[in-house]
C-alpha cells in the first residue's frame, strides 16, 4: 500500500506537468505565481539545488510578463531564490525556474539533468534508488545543510512514506532532530498535511510536543491547517492541547478561528483551557466572536466560556462582534446576558463601533439595552460616528431613538480632529451629505454650535444646496473665523467668485455694511504683507498679533480677487445705504474704466425705494428675513424685499 502511494504521488506530478505543457510562457507564469503564493514553505534543499545550477538563474525567457498586477517585490524576492514546482520523470526532472530581467518577472520550464541523485530520489519518492544509495554508504545521513535540514526533513516535507521508512531505518536517531528553525520532521509532515507520514513518525517515537522557533507545536500547526485526522492522531499520542506559541495562541484558538467544531470538542475533551489568552488578551471565546464562529461560540459558552471576556484594550467579545458585523454572534451574546455597557479603554461601547461601521441591525439590538448615561460619559455619541461615516440608516435610527442631535464631543475627542469639530452636523456638512444634514436639522440640530461654523464649511465647498439648508434652519450668515478674525462676515471670503452664493447670503441678512468699514478711510493704506513658499506667493491675513481685524478691502486687494473687485462692490452696494469707499477700493475702481459706473453708484444719493427696502429688512430681523418666504406677506412685497427685479410702484 505504501508503494502504491509513492507511485500515485509521482503519477500526479507527471499528470500535472502534462496538463500544463500546452500553456504559453505567460500562462505558466500565472500558474506558477498562484502556486508560489499558496506554498510559502519551500524547502532549503531546493534553494541549495538552485545555487548548484546557476544556469537556471540566468536563463531568460523569450517573452516577459506584462501582467497588470505584477507580484510585489517581496514575492519576487521569494521566487527568485527558489524553484517553484517540480515534475519528475525517471532520469530527469522538469523545473519551473523564476528569473527577473530589467524589472520583469520571467519563467522558464527547464529540463534539468545531473542533479544530486540522492536528493532527486527523495523529491521523486523513488524508494528503490534511495535504498541503493544508502546501501552504498556514499551519503552521510547526519550531515545537515546550511539551513539545518536532514534528508529525513526533506522526505517528511514531501510526504513519501516509503522513503521516510528507509531513512528512519537507516538513521532512527534523527527522528526528533530540528532544523535551524527548530522544525522537526513531524512538524514538517503536519504542516504539509501528510497523514501517513505523521502516523509513521508518531509510531516510531516522534515527540509531538517539540515546538519550532515560534513555539508552535505540531498540534498547533494541525489546528491551523484544520486537519481533524491529524489532530486526533496527535492527541492520541500525547500532544499537549494547551501549549501556546510565541504570540500566546493555543491549538484551541486556531481551531476556533478555522470554525472547526469537532476539533474544538477534541481539544476541550483532552483538557484544553477555555480561559487561556494570547499576548493581546484574546481567549477562544473572544476569537469566536471575532471570527463569527457561531457554533463554536455556542459550544464554548456551554462549556463555561466567559461571555464578558475582554482583550488587553478592554474591548469585549460583544464589542468585537459588533465591530465586525457578526449579527448571529451578537444575538447569542445578548441572549447570554453579555454586558452591552462595558467600554474599552477609549470609552467606546459596542453601540459606538456598530454605528461607526454601519451595522444597523446590530445597532437596533443594542439600542434598548445601552445605557444613555454611559454613552454621555464616553465623550462621543454614536450619532457622531454615524454622521462622520455617512451611515444614514444608522443616523436615522439613532435620531428616532431619541439620541441628542446637539450632543458635542468632549475636548479630548474634539482635539483628535484638526478642525476641532464638535457636532454631528459638522461632520455631515464636511462630507457634503445633504440627506444626513437635513435629518439632523429637522430634528432641531443647532447649526451654530461648532467653533468653525458649518455654514462656512458649506460655502467654502461651494455647495449651494447645503448652504440654503443651513440658512433655512438658522445658520449664522455673519459667522467669523476664530483663527483669522475679520471685521466682516467670513462667509464672504469663500464666495467672492460665486455671485449666486454671495447674493443668496446677502439676501438672507449677511452684513454688507461691515465690508465698507475701514480704519484708514480715504488715507493711504499700508502695503499688504506677503510671503513666498516654494511654489507660489501666498497672501495671508496676519501672522503677527494685531489689535485690528482683517478688513474687506485687504482681502479683495489680493491678486486672487482683484479682477472681481468691481462685481463684488457693485453687488454689496445694493445692500447698504450711504457709504464712503476707502482709498484702496477707490483705487481699484479707478484702475478699470469699465467700473466707472460702480464708483458713480457709490457717490449718488440712494433712492427712497432702496432706503425703504433696507429699513424694512432691518426691522424684520435676521431670523424673519431667513424665513421670509414663509411669512404671510404679499408675493410682490416678498420679491421686492428679496431683490427680485420689481419696482415699488408695482407693489402699490
For residues 188 and 156, what is the distance between their CA atoms, to the nearest angstrom?
6
**28 pLDDT band (50/70/90 cuts)?**
low
Polymer length of the chain: 652
Q: Is the pLDDT of residue 360 over 90?
A: yes
Q: Is the pLDDT of residue 2 over 80?
A: no
Give the lowest-confidence range in 138-147, 220-229, 238-247, 431-440.
138-147
The larger pLDDT score, comparing residue 100 to residue 175, is at 175
CA-only gyration radius of the chain, Å: 38
Backbone angles phi, psi at 159, to 5 degrees: 80, 25
518-565 pLDDT tens trace: 988 888 888 876 544 433 332 333 444 445 688 899 888 888 888 889
Dmax (CA) for the chain in angstroms is 123
Q: Is the pLDDT of residue 301 over 90?
A: yes
Q: What is the 3-state secondary structure (H, E, C) of 351-369?
A: HHHHHHCCCHHHHHHHHHH
Q: What Cα–Cα distance (Å) separates residue 553 from each residue in 243, 459, 470, 557, 586?
A: 76, 20, 28, 6, 10
For residues 546 and 446, what is the distance between their CA atoms, to the nearest angstrom?
32
For residues 187 and 57, what is the distance between their CA atoms, to the nearest angstrom?
31
Estimate to the nearest angstrom the gap between the alpha carbon of 103 and the chain centroid.
Answer: 30
Residue of 354, 384, 385 lying closest to 367 (CA atoms): 354
- For residue 541, what pLDDT is reported? 36
254 and 266 Cβ atoms separated by less than 8 Å: no
- For residue 37, what pLDDT is reported? 45
Mean pLDDT of 424-437: 98
The larger pLDDT score, comparing residue 621 to residue 351, is at 351
Quick count: other Cβ atoms within 10 Å of Cβ 380? 24
Q: What Cα–Cα distance (Å) separates residue 319 from each residue in 229, 248, 281, 331?
A: 35, 22, 14, 12
Q: Is the pLDDT of residue 490 over 90?
A: yes
Contacts by 172-178, CB closer than 8 A, 24 or more apart: 172/204, 174/141, 174/142, 174/150, 175/201, 175/204, 175/205, 175/206, 176/205, 176/206, 176/207, 176/210, 177/144, 177/150, 177/152, 177/153, 178/148, 178/210, 178/212
For residues 598 and 155, what is the distance between their CA atoms, to the nearest angstrom?
94
- For residue 444, what pLDDT is reported? 96
The larger pLDDT score, comparing residue 251 to residue 79, is at 251
**351 pLDDT band (50/70/90 cuts)?**
very high
95-143 pLDDT tens trace: 555 555 555 555 555 555 556 788 888 888 888 988 988 888 877 888 8
**85 pLDDT band (50/70/90 cuts)?**
very low
- Kindly tell me the sign of the dihedral angle through the C-alpha atoms of 148, 153, 158, 164: positive
- What average pLDDT does the structure give for the chain? 82
Backbone angles phi, psi at 557, to 5 degrees: -90, -5
Cell of 320: 468585537
Residue of 345, 479, 358, 362 lying closest to 412 (CA atoms): 345
Mean pLDDT of 284-296: 98
Q: Is the pLDDT of residue 355 over 70?
A: yes
- For residue 273, what pLDDT is reported? 95
Give the lowest-confidence range in 1-15, 377-391, 577-591.
1-15
Cell of 519: 480704519
- For residue 102, what pLDDT is reported? 55
Q: Is the pLDDT of residue 207 over 60?
A: yes
Angle at 346 between CA 343 and CA 348, to 5 degrees: 45
- Kindly tell me the sign of the dihedral angle through the C-alpha atoms of 624, 629, 632, 637: positive
Q: What Cα–Cα distance (Å) separates residue 400 from each residue in 362, 363, 397?
A: 16, 12, 5
For residues 257 and 297, what is the distance between their CA atoms, to the nearest angstrom?
11
Q: Provide the 8-state DSSP code for 625.
A: H
For residues 406 and 69, what is the distance between their CA atoms, to the nearest angstrom?
48
Q: Is the pLDDT of residue 19 over 50?
A: no
Using CB atoms within 10 Å of the CB of residue 9, give its burial: 0 to 12 exposed, 13 to 18 middle, 19+ buried.
Answer: middle
Q: Is the pLDDT of residue 84 over 60?
A: no
470-484 pLDDT tens trace: 999 999 999 998 888
**Which residue has 541523485 as its cell numbers?**
117
Cell of 380: 462621543
- Ranked by mean pLDDT, the top range of 41-55, 169-183, 572-586 is 169-183
Share of the chain above pLDDT 90, in %: 57
Q: Which of helix, strand or coil describes residue 539? A: strand
DSSP output for 53-81: -HHHHH---SS----SSPPPHHHHHHHHT
Mean pLDDT of 69-95: 41
218 and 186 Cβ atoms separated by less than 8 Å: yes
Torsion of CA 472, 474, 476, 482, to 10 degrees: -120
- For residue 53, what pLDDT is reported? 41
For residues 183 and 371, what is the distance between their CA atoms, to the nearest angstrom?
52
For residues 593 and 595, what is the distance between their CA atoms, to the nearest angstrom?
5
Mean pLDDT of 69-94: 41
- For residue 109, what pLDDT is reported? 55
Number of H helices, E strands in the chain: 37, 5
Mean pLDDT of 194-217: 97
Mean pLDDT of 244-261: 97
Q: Is the pLDDT of residue 25 over 70?
A: no
Q: Is the pLDDT of residue 593 over 50?
A: yes
Amino acid at each position: 500500500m505504501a508503494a502504491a502511494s509513492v507511485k500515485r504521488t509521482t503519477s500526479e506530478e507527471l499528470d500535472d506537468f502534462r496538463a500544463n505543457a500546452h500553456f504559453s510562457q505567460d500562462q505558466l507564469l500565472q500558474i506558477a505565481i498562484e502556486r508560489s503564493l499558496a506554498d510559502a514553505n519551500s524547502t532549503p534543499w531546493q534553494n541549495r539545488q538552485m545555487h548548484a545550477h546557476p544556469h537556471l538563474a540566468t536563463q531568460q525567457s523569450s517573452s516577459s510578463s506584462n501582467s497588470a498586477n505584477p507580484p510585489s517585490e517581496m514575492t519576487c524576492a521569494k521566487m527568485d531564490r527558489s524553484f517553484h514546482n517540480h515534475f519528475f520523470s525517471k532520469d530527469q526532472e522538469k523545473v519551473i525556474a523564476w528569473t527577473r530581467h530589467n524589472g520583469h518577472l520571467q519563467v522558464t520550464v527547464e529540463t534539468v539533468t545531473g542533479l544530486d541523485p540522492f536528493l532527486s530520489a527523495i523529491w521523486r519518492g523513488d524508494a528503490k534508488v534511495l535504498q541503493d544509495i544508502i546501501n552504498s554508504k556514499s551519503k552521510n545521513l547526519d550531515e545537515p545543510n546550511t539551513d539545518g535540514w536532514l534528508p529525513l526533513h526533506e522526505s517528511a516535507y514531501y510526504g513519501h512514506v516509503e522513503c521516510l521508512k528507509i531513512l528512519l531505518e537507516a538513521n532512527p536517531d534523527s527522528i526528533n532532530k530540528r532544523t535551524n528553525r527548530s522544525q522537526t520532521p513531524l512538524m514538517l509532515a503536519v504542516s504539509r498535511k501528510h497523514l501517513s507520514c505523521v502516523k509513521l513518525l508518531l509510531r516510531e517515537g516522534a515527540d509531538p510536543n517539540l515546538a519550532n522557533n515560534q513555539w508552535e507545536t505540531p498540534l498547533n500547526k494541525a489546528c491551523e491547517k484544520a486537519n481533524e485526522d491529524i489532530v486526533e492522531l496527535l492527541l492520541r499520542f500525547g500532544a499537549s492541547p494547551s501549549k501556546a506559541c510565541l504570540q500566546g495562541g493555543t491549538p484551541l484558538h486556531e481551531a476556533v478561528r478555522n470554525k472547526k467544531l469537532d476539533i474544538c470538542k477534541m481539544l476541550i475533551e483532552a483538557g484544553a483551557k477555555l480561559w487561556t489568552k494570547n499576548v493581546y488578551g484574546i481567549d477562544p471565546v473572544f476569537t469566536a466572536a471575532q471570527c463569527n464562529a457561531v457554533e463554536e461560540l455556542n459550544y464554548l459558552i456551554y462549556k463555561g466560556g466567559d461571555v464578558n471576556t475582554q482583550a488587553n484594550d478592554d474591548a469585549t467579545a460583544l464589542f468585537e462582534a459588533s465591530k465586525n458585523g457578526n449579527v448571529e454572534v451578537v444575538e447569542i451574546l445578548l441572549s447570554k446576558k453579555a454586558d452591552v455597557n462595558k467600554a474599552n479603554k477609549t470609552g467606546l461601547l459596542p453601540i459606538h463601533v456598530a454605528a461607526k461601521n454601519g451595522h444597523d441591525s446590530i445597532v437596533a439590538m443594542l439600542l434598548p439595552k445601552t445605557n444613555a448615561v454611559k454613552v454621555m460619559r464616553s465623550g462621543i455619541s454614536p450619532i457622531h460616528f454615524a454622521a462622520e461615516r455617512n451611515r444614514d440608516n444608522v443616523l436615522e435610527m439613532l435620531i428616532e431613538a431619541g439620541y441628542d442631535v446637539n450632543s458635542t464631543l468632549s475636548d479630548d475627542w474634539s482635539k483628535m480632529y484638526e478642525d476641532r469639530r464638535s457636532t454631528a452636523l459638522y461632520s455631515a456638512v464636511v462630507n457634503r451629505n445633504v440627506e444626513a444634514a437635513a435629518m439632523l436639522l429637522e430634528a432641531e440640530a443647532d447649526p451654530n454650535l461648532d467653533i468653525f461654523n458649518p455654514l462656512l464649511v458649506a460655502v467654502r465647498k461651494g455647495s449651494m444646496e447645503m448652504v440654503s439648508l443651513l440658512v433655512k434652519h438658522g445658520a449664522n450668515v455673519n459667522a467669523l473665523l476664530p483663527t483669522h478674525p475679520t471685521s466682516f462676515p467670513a462667509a464672504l471670503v469663500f464666495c467672492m467668485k460665486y455671485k449666486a452664493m454671495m447674493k443668496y447670503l446677502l439676501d438672507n441678512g449677511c452684513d454688507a455694511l461691515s465690508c465698507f468699514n475701514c480704519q484708514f478711510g480715504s488715507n493711504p493704506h499700508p502695503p499688504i504683507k506677503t510671503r513666498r513658499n516654494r511654489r507660489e506667493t501666498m497672501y495671508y491675513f496676519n501672522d503677527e498679533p494685531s489689535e485690528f481685524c482683517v478688513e474687506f478691502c485687504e482681502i479683495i486687494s489680493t491678486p486672487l480677487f482683484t479682477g472681481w473687485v468691481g462685481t463684488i462692490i457693485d453687488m454689496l452696494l445694493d445692500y447698504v445705504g450711504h457709504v464712503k469707499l476707502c482709498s484702496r477700493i477707490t483705487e481699484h475702481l479707478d484702475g478699470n474704466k469699465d467700473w466707472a459706473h460702480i464708483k458713480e453708484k457709490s457717490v449718488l444719493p440712494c433712492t427712497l425705494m432702496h432706503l425703504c427696502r433696507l429699513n424694512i429688512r432691518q426691522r424684520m430681523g435676521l431670523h424673519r428675513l431667513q424665513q421670509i418666504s414663509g411669512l404671510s406677506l404679499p408675493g410682490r412685497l416678498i420679491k421686492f424685499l428679496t431683490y427680485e427685479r420689481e419696482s415699488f410702484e408695482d407693489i402699490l
